[in-house]
Structure 1
Amino acid sequence: MDKKVIRKFAIEARRKLIEGVANQAYKLGITESKIDSFKAYEGKVMINGEVYDATLYKQLLRRVATEGYKETIEKIAYTWFNRFIALRYMEANNFLPSKTSIFSSSSNSMEPDALSQVLELIDILALNRELVNELLDKNNYQDLYRHIFIQQCRQLELYIPNMFKKIESDFVLLLPKGLLNKDSIIRDLVEYIPVEDWSNTEILGWLYQFYISEEKDNVFKNLKKGKKIEPENIPAATQLFTPKWIVQYLVDNSLGRIGNETVNDTEFTSYSPYYIKEAKQSYIVDNIVEKLKEQNLPPTKIKIIDPCMGSGHILTYSFEVLVKIYKRLGYTSREIPPLILENNLFGLEIDDRAAQIASFSLIMKAREYSRYIFEEKVAINVVAFQNSTNISVNAINIIGETDTKVDNVLNCLITLFKNAKTLGSIIKVPTLDVEILEERLTELEKNGSEDIFLWETLEYDMPIIKSLIKQYSLLSQEYEVVVTNPPYMGSKGMNGQLLQYVRVNYPDSKMDLFSIFMEVMTNLSKKNYYIGAINQHSWMFLSSFEKLRKKLLANQIIENMLHLGTRTFEEIGGEVVQNTAYILRNVTINNYKGTYVRLVDVKNAEAKKERFLTGNNRYIAEQNEMQKIPGNPIAYWVSETTKKIFDENKSLNSVALPKQGLATGDNNQFLRFWFEVADTKMATNCKCMLPKWFPISKGGSFRKWYGNNSYVVNWEENGFEIKNFFSGTKKLKSRPQNLDFYFKKGITWSTISSSKISFRYHNNAIFETKGSVIFPQEDYYCVFGYLNSKLTNHFLTATSPTLDYHEGPLGKIPYKDIKSKLVETLVKENIKLAKKDWDSFEISWEFQKHPLIANKTIKQAFQEWENESIENFNHVESNEEELNKIFIHLYNLQNELTPEVPEEEITIRKANQLREVKSLLSYLIGLIFGRYSLDQPGIFYAGGNWDTSKYSSFQPDEDNIIPFTEENYFEDDIILRVEYLLTLIYSEETLEENLDYIANTLELKKNETSRERIRRYFLKEFYQDHLKIYQKRPIYWMITSGKKGAFKGLIYLHRYHCDTLAQIRTDYILPLIKTMDNLMSLEKALIDNLEIDQKSKITAQKNWEQLALRQDEVKDFSKVIDHMANKRIQLELDDGVILNHAKFQNIDIDKGVGNIFERINR
């Protein structure tokens, strides 16, 4: 099955159907903005010259009025989509009662068999013989085929009413025209998807998921913009097709377990490779389990429900397992399918589309086992939730007028299911006597046939009321098996109705729909029976789910679990969504041992299945033992030794306080990279008396001991702006918390990490929510050493094996007091070496000078730096391993941990020749602009008053413009400035050697000189490296004339002034145009010279053409820059790079849109 093809078809089919249905509505005078007036005569209406049934037309108008135009168009489109794919499935499997293909041709003709054999189908499909003959005479095959198609649907209404119900209804009016067209959905259906793909009902689920995929994408785009998920979008946002092997695991280990007892044979489930046998229990537990077994349970008493069934994938597989149970007990093939549909399988769903497919899939599954199923006319217990809001007051009055009890029940149902499409199966239902309401409806149906007024009143409302009764009935029962893949939706995405309901009714699980469904499934589950689900594994560990976890551990047993981790679903990549699948038994048994299969390290959906089948990675864990770890995480893999350490020692938070920091409410407004703003306003600058920008710890990448000091926060006047940052509704958007800990000495870490946790020195800074800080009350360096040892990650895998390392789990790890001078010394050395490493590069605000600046050649300087960095690296590595030895011994974990540290986890850097040479060139650019000075270490100028008199050894560029051109057109050409600096820093004698060393490191092309290679680096590569180092917040901005790069250059952001653009044009652009004129004249002279050879003329012609194109680009750029120069734009460094840079982008000019500076995001 090629899912890419299926996806393409489903998406295209949705677009075509919505367009086709809307076109039909337009022909009927119905648009989103208005409905044309009409007149009815003798049960007919005429619109645009066409005659339609008046009853159907009025039904359609009522639907549009009550449900909305867009909703009606969408609903009718997906209904026909479902019918198209249902018919295709039936014809591909030869399940159509007519035994004639409706869409395809047995002779590979473009004409479907149903059309070529239409005369044979007249009686079979109850076709209108006169109409058939008339249309044949007129060669009107489109309308003839439409008649055949509708009649085929009407025939199937008798057998599969859930999918083909009400073919007489208003839906027929909007069936798109042109079903035989080459680009019709029917043609696509036959041609896109091979017939063999229709052999299993699974294809129906994939078609549904892909049909709604564009809706899903739009929902999540809006969610990122802060928009809540509205009721109509919940299905698209939450539907996810469950992998088949996971379905088999869930059903085989729940229903299959009951099958073992029902047929009184523990080997019944040997059919399944996904069945996990019960772990060996103690004698006492074994006796309890044996007493709970209910042998000889009649199969008709086994009820299975999927409370959010989607397209019915789990139910259809459950059908297969039930067939095995019935067969083992001697039932016949003909009697099994209707018994299963009537007695065993139940499903609830908020999406009508999915429910239609689910019910159809079950009928088709039954048809696989019995060719008589269509004759049985079985009622299927599959329900799509319906809101009660559209029931008319007249209907309520008529139904309840004779009996107060009936009236109360009806009104209670109406209140209960007011938001059923939003809440679905999470609705908690009281005990109601719905039977009296059913009796009343039966009475009215009998009378209604004689009372036309009554019948018209109830015709629309009666089906809705019956749906309310059915959905109540399913929610009020208990089931032997409750199994599902629940929706995933965090509280941030929930709309107001949903959020309010879950806060009141599910306080312990309100964080996400998947966790709410854990409680829902328990409520639906019969005592002593089984619950199976796949959901996100966060409930197993996070503190926000602790109450839910404790409730589960106290009242249910975990029979077994597949801990799946990331990439369980092919459609979901990345590290965020991590899954677990599990089987619970709704009973309490102390000291029960569950089986856990650990697949979190397998990063491929198919590979997880293969690893499971090997039988490896299995853990047996006693449920009660998990309570020894604070927070009761489901840490099944943790050893007895580790559990004992947790149980017998105090928590880290008893000696060190983990604190969450400042939530600004809008980091884009209040946070900057430190290099974006003027250092004259930074608290890191000792000369600044009233700073605005203060250092803030904000997490960052994996780095130990020191570093990641990249951000500053606007804390001017003690954070006045942040403390008074209110929304339009006067609600405080920021959360300034733990203020007493700001600027105190602590240890910081990244609360979100894609790898292991790491800790860094923190002092004289604020801290943010993603860069929390722990404050040791004493023994600072011993706590620091412990945190960066292997033990912290070891213990955190138990308390927080997710990507979220927030304060709670960290504070709960065990801690043993230690006072050690050796630990203190080792930690201080590591901090010192890590700081030296961090400060060796210009990304640090304490950067002094480049490590390759020395009175030697660059090569010699690099060799010395390389030796020093290796020595420092080895020193830190040795220190870390010694710390590991100390703490491993202290906690007696020699059998579980070794002291060795992988090289990639030593986070000070070894020298890298290419990186260091590139950073040297960046440093030279900084010298040319005056950011750095050869006379004084550190940043020399980053805002404030510009004064060239302070520079003595080397005068920075006067106009703050460094031109990059392919030839040396200007006196301050980049290569000339680099040559001058290399001579000044090293010596004139070593200039060529140093140029060669730089060029060879950058890698030369064949026949390329060193100067050409360095020029090419600045023209083509430097800016991308600069963007990477400065995290897309460049301090040097690349001027570019356009795609050809006829003129490029750099300016230094902190030296920009309102006349900079005018200088660029006057001093560089206009002279360059003139130079190009001269060069073109020279080339023209060669072209016109009669004495030179033809080859030289051709070369000259090419040169002239290239120059002409480049000059045109420069001339166009001159207009752009002139236009902007006249605006004399000022920059405000406090606004940050993104806002300032945007002022020079997408400039409207005669020929379209222009830019001054190269884009930050390309």
Structure 2
Amino acid sequence: MTVNGNAIKACCLKVRSILEAGVEVQLARYDVCEGGAPAGAEVVKGIPLSPEETAQRDELLFLCAQRGRKALLDQAAYTWFNRIAAIHFMEVRGWLPSGVRMFTRADGSVGSQAVDEALDLQMDGLDPMCVAELKASGDDEALFRYLFLLQCEQLHDCLPDVFEPVGSAMELLLPQGLLYRDGPIMHMVSDIPEEDWTEGVEIVGWMYQYYVSERKDEVFAGFKKGKKAEREDIAPATQLFTPNWIVRYLTENSLGRLWMLNRPGSKLTDHMPYFVKPDEDHETEFKHVTTPEDITVVDPACGSGHILVYAFDLLAKIYEEEGYRARDAARLILEKNLSGMEIDPRAAAMASFALTMKARELDSRFLRRGVKPRITVLSRVEFEPEELQYIPNLSARPQLLDAVAHLDECGSLLTVTKDDMDALAGDLASLAGESTIFGGSAVEKLELMRAELEPLGRSYDAVVANPPYMGSSNMDKWLAAWVKSKYKEVCRDLCTCFIKRGMSLAKERGYEALITSDTCMYLSSFEQMRKTLIERTTIIAFIDTRGSNAHPDVFDANAGWVLWNAHSQSERGAYFKLNHPIAEKSERLLEALADPACGWFYRRDADTFKQIPGSPIAYWASDAMLGAFTNHLLADVAKPRQGLVTGDNDEFLREWWEVDNLNFFRSSPSRDSALNSGVKWFPCNKGGGYRRWYGFNDVVVNWQNDGEAIQNYIRNGRQASRPQNMEFYFKEGITWGTISSAKLSMRYSPRGSISEHAGSMIYLDKSNPLFAIVIAAMNSSAVEKLLAFLSPSLRFTEGPVGQVPIPDGISDARGISNLSEKAIATSKADYDSFETSWDFANHPLL
């Protein structure tokens, strides 16, 4: 979409502010607050209310008590924002049932064609006498308000998810001054050019993201202060509109691929620039479909529907190829092909609107056909204790009832089985004709529960999603515990939970296409997930955008998976290393598809990843690099070990020039001699920057009396220090910094030092033949390339470092030993030539 995002964002935030202020005025006008006029009042603040207004105010009082005044204000402001955006989108296309524009004149200028032509309007429910009176009075604001609400009522029949029926309580909270020059409608019409509205229905999705962007910022600011995401925070914190090129890549290589494999002669590829052609050198397996009506696509976290909208476009072309009439295709796509699930009812309403508008493009009479998109809002369903006796089958499934009571948190991550649905159906059948208060209430909740769970219990040919991103540390207590119990191997982030859930949502031999964090490609905590994917699925296509984010609003939204839900013995996946600036990623992907020799396109059988410890998605590893893992690993020959955690470095560490007793603390050969010395400070390896072979001997640690102060260091009632591997203290070896902004660099550490946790150690004496081989190998360019996939985050901890293969059967071990000795001596001489070294004697230039 080629619109001005900054202008849209500024407009949405401004309109939101104006609407919220206007709703606040209306709440005060009708005294909707704690301690205000009681329910049933016919006069409020001197204003007489009609019976209808009294009933509406009573409903507002109930909602205010139930949800809180702030939540009610937010709901009302967004309700009117949503309706204004929807009506303006429709009016610029001439799609309003009234046939006239509400917010602009026929030529697109500021004003209201409906107000101008009010006396000639043909609208269902319009009262000509009322219109005539308002027109005669010259009160254009009141006339517009009347016509606007009447237009909303008309749209309720064809867009019930967006437009509640007239008469609802929200009418009282419609702000005044809608047509003012600085009012919400004029800003939405004037601040966003009309051509942007005609670009495509995706504009309403972008508008919703920008509308909630400030709320999202508030939630993320809370995360930085240690706050957890409450259930109402999950939607705004994770609601992001997916960039168009990512949507197309995911959809074309799942839904589009399924059709192309079934119809090799199809011209659909002419409309799919991001489609990855099957590997011609290997046989391609696929699921057979007979007709486009058989294809099912779901977005389990659909937001405002961007992915579903593009899936609609592809399906429309498929139906056209198969000879269907456009109006039939519009209906069938919504009735049979597309499904969406979402925990945010506001975003779901936008998704429903967007799909209806796509159908309207194909069928000019679609709004009259009564076809509704299959967008399911996953809201919580909670049963009162008195209702449980009416649902014995479900009462025997407490875990299911608990999850359903938190369905607005776990959403489509809830897996629903046939037995679950049978239990629900059994309880419903037993309550047929039930008329008691609690029994009747149970029936209503069961009906709602069935409508929400049925789509979760189905499987689909293509599961396509940009799932929510939220780390487990930011989840509330219930959600964190639930995902840990249901998604143990992937529970560190919601997006990785969706990878596993997608495997059960997709049919056998169906597709799963998602954009997720890249960390699951290599972190050890996701090792089991990677092994499961490699063994049970086939990676068809993969985009890796590390080095620059795929999505400008998300940190680490960097891995685009397209998985075939079956294991192929012959398929080689297509991998794209898009570590280019954000603005270039789409173009670079297209270049790679046009020219596989570009340098960032790879073909790889995912089974080869199993050769590497931890099975990282190391698609760029050459055959020679993979073959290196047939050697012994470093951890097999010399286990890397983490050092001391003091619990308070400011208390227990110093630079060497800050303390006394320099002559003794440098010569402690063992823990016993250090203990008997009575000396306080001893050399400490604490990592450092990039320096190989020798150096960074700057820090000393308080290890007096065998580290008595550190070993007994208590903070907040708990031991804060973690002395570990103490039997290796003061021994000779190789040290390195575990956190680096550059490459791994290992250095010789003579006897007499203690390793701190940021300066890990491999304990090998120089006399050991392995010493020279290990330090030479670990400082080599070959290991540098291996660590690019063993530890791409530049955290060179003991785990990934221990997985580096060490060459076996070195033919010139003596030569390597001599070169290592020379490199260490040269590096030591260089380091000691500066006054920061405790072995400094004189400057080399003097």
Common fold by TM > 0.5: yes
* C-alpha displacement of 1:569: 3.1
* Structure 1 residue identity aligned to 2:605: E
* C-alpha displacement of 1:478: 0.7
Change (3 A) 1:751 1:194: farther
Between stretches 305-314 and 758-767, larger displacement belongs to 758-767
* Structure 2 residue identity aligned to 1:813: V
Aligned to 1:346: 339
Which of 489, 492, 509 lines up with 2:470 in the alignment?
Answer: 489
Aligned to 2:421: 432
* Structure 1 residue identity aligned to 2:381: S
* C-alpha displacement of 1:250: 1.1
* C-alpha displacement of 1:813: 1.6
Aligned to 1:815: 806
* Structure 2 residue identity aligned to 1:608: R
Change (3 A) 1:726 1:113: farther
Per-residue CA deviations over 1:200-221 (Å, capped at 9, x if unaligned) read: 1222222122222222222222
Aligned to 2:556: 577
Change (3 A) 1:642 1:159: same
- On the 8 A contact 2:695/2:831 being kept in 1, the answer is yes
Aligned to 1:655: 637
Aligned to 2:671: none
Change (3 A) 1:437 1:661: same
- On the 8 A contact 2:39/2:61 being kept in 1, the answer is no
Between stretches 544-553 and 81-90, larger displacement belongs to 81-90
Change (3 A) 1:165 1:441: farther
* Structure 1 residue identity aligned to 2:794: L
* C-alpha displacement of 1:229: 2.5
Kindly report which structure 2 residues correspond to 1:980-995, keeping only aligned pairs within 5 A, or say none: none
Which of 596, 604, 617 lines up with 2:575 in the alignment?
Answer: 596
Change (3 A) 1:696 1:294: same
- On the 8 A contact 1:388/1:415 being kept in 2, the answer is no
* Structure 2 residue identity aligned to 1:339: L
Per-residue CA deviations over 1:664-708 (Å, capped at 9, x if unaligned) read: 5566x5576738x94349999779986766655444433323344
* Structure 2 residue identity aligned to 1:577: D
Per-residue CA deviations over 1:518-561 (Å, capped at 9, x if unaligned) read: 11000111111111111122222222211111111111111222
Q: Is 2:241 aligned against 1:241?
A: yes
Aligned to 1:265: 265
Q: Is 2:75 aligned against 1:75?
A: yes
Aligned to 2:592: 612
* C-alpha displacement of 1:346: 1.0
Aligned to 1:153: 152
Aligned to 1:124: 123
Kindly report which structure 2 residues correspond to 1:531-610, keeping only aligned pairs within 5 A, or say none: 531-572=512-553, 577=556, 579-600=558-579, 604-610=584-590
* C-alpha displacement of 1:477: 0.6
Aligned to 1:61: 61
Distance 2:842 2:180 in 1: 73
Q: Is 2:180 aligned against 1:178?
A: no
- On the 8 A contact 2:428/2:446 being kept in 1, the answer is no
* Structure 2 residue identity aligned to 1:640: D
Q: Which runs of 5+ in 1 are unaligned?
A: 855-1162
* C-alpha displacement of 1:305: 0.9
Q: Is 2:505 aligned against 1:524?
A: yes
Aligned to 2:482: 501
- On the 8 A contact 2:300/2:342 being kept in 1, the answer is yes
Distance 1:200 1:428 in 2: 34
Aligned to 1:1033: none
* C-alpha displacement of 1:186: 1.3
Change (3 A) 1:645 1:609: closer
* TM-score w.r.t. length of structure 1: 0.65
Kindly report which structure 2 residues correspond to 1:774-923, keeping only aligned pairs within 5 A, or say none: 774-776=762-764, 778=768, 779-817=770-808, 818=810, 820-838=813-831
* C-alpha displacement of 1:655: 1.7
Change (3 A) 1:709 1:511: farther
Q: Please give the secondary structure, in 1, of the residue aligned with 2:408.
A: helix
Q: Please give the secondary structure, in 2, of the residue aligned with 1:582.
A: strand
* Structure 1 residue identity aligned to 2:278: E
* Structure 2 residue identity aligned to 1:148: L
Larger radius of gyration: 1
Kindly report which structure 2 residues correspond to 1:321-332, keeping only aligned pairs within 5 A, or say none: 321-332=314-325
* C-alpha displacement of 1:302: 1.3
Aligned to 2:163: 164
CA-based RMSD of the aligned residues comes to 3.4
Which of 348, 366, 374 lines up with 1:355 in the alignment?
Answer: 348
Distance 2:431 2:205 in 1: 35
Aligned to 2:736: 749
Q: Please give the secondary structure, in 1, of the residue aligned with 2:186.
A: helix
Distance 1:69 1:39 in 2: 16
- On the 8 A contact 1:28/1:48 being kept in 2, the answer is no
Which of 10, 28, 31 lines up with 2:30 in the alignment?
Answer: 28
* Structure 2 residue identity aligned to 1:773: M
Distance 1:276 1:442 in 2: 53
Distance 1:442 1:127 in 2: 41
Q: Please give the secondary structure, in 2, of the residue aligned with 1:571.
A: coil
Per-residue CA deviations over 1:1084-1116 (Å, capped at 9, x if unaligned) read: xxxxxxxxxxxxxxxxxxxxxxxxxxxxxxxxx
Q: Which runs of 5+ in 2 are unaligned?
A: 668-673
Which of 461, 465, 471 lines up with 2:452 in the alignment?
Answer: 471
Aligned to 2:670: none
Aligned to 1:309: 302
Kindly report which structure 2 residues correspond to 1:1080-1091, keeping only aligned pairs within 5 A, or say none: none
Change (3 A) 1:805 1:223: same
Which of 674, 682, 693 lines up with 1:705 in the alignment?
Answer: 693
Between stretches 694-703 and 304-313, larger displacement belongs to 694-703
Aligned to 2:86: 86
Per-residue CA deviations over 1:142-187 (Å, capped at 9, x if unaligned) read: 3332222222212111111111134432222222222122222212
Kindly report which structure 2 residues correspond to 1:1128-1139, keeping only aligned pairs within 5 A, or say none: none
Kindly report which structure 2 residues correspond to 1:1119-1134, keeping only aligned pairs within 5 A, or say none: none
* Structure 1 residue identity aligned to 2:635: N
- On the 8 A contact 1:566/1:577 being kept in 2, the answer is no
Distance 1:683 1:704 in 2: 26
Distance 1:359 1:329 in 2: 26
